[in-house]
Amino acid sequence: MTSSVFVSSRDVNPNATWVATSLDVACYPREVETPGDRIKQALQLRGISARELARRAGMGPTQVSVLIARYEKNEDAEVTLPTLKAIAKGAEVSAAWLILGTGSPDADDDARAPSTRESELPRRGNVIGWDDALAVVRAKHKFTDDTVSSGERVAALTTRGIITPEEVLQILRLVAQQSDPARMERQLAEAYERQRQVLADADAREAEAEAREKAEKVKPKGGRKPKGGRG
C-alpha cells in the first residue's frame, strides 16, 4: 500500500541541539531546518544537479527544483511522503534523514539496528519538558497512547533541550498520519486528483488558445472584400 503522509518542515524541533544516537553513528551536524534544505545538502553530497536528481527519482525534470523553491517560500510547505522517499532513493540518502532530519545521510543508515534492547530505548533525558508540553496538547487534542508513545520516541531520538507544545503537536500529528493507512491513501488520492485537475485545466486553456489562434488566421482582414464581390 502506498503511503501519503504530507510532511511539514517543522516535524521536529529546528532549534534544538541534535545528539548522536545508535542511528546517528556519523554524528552529522543537525542545523538543517527543512526537507528542502536537506535536499540541497544531498545534492552537494552527491555532486549532482536538481535536474539529475529528479531523473534518478523518476520525476519531471524541474520537480525537485520546484519542491526546493516551495520550501524556501514556505517552511511549512506540505509534500507527500512518497515524493520525499523517491527523492531520498534517487539521492541514495536515508529517507529518515531527508524527511525528519534523524540519523545520517548515508543510504544504509536505516539498516543499522541497535545491538541490544537497552540501546533501542529513547534517551528521554535529552528532551526537557515533554510531560508539561504533552499536557497542554492533550487538553485540546486527542491522541491514542500508542501515538503518544511513538511520538515520545521520535522526540527523544531527534532533539535535545526544551520542547514546546507546538513541537509536540507537530510530532504527534505526523505519527498519527503514519499509523493511519486509510487516511494516507485518501490524502494521496486527493493530492493526485488535484494534480490531475490542474493539468487538465492547463490542457483546456492551451487548446482554447490554439483554437482562437487558428480562428484568427482564417478570419478575413478588415476592409478586404471577398473575391467575386461587387464594388
Question: Which domains are seen in the chain, by residue range?
Answer: 6-111+120-181 (1.10.260.40)
Backbone phi, psi, residue 93, to 5°? -125, 165
- For the whole model, what pTM was predicted? 0.38
**124-171 pLDDT, tens digit each:** 445 677 888 889 899 999 998 888 888 888 887 766 677 888 888 988
**More confident site: 133 or 11:** 133
Q: What was the pLDDT predicted at 125?
A: 47
Largest Cα span, the chain: 102
**165-178 and 130-138 helices, crossing angle to 10°:** 70
**More confident site: 198 or 189:** 198
Backbone phi, psi, residue 136, to 5°? -65, -45
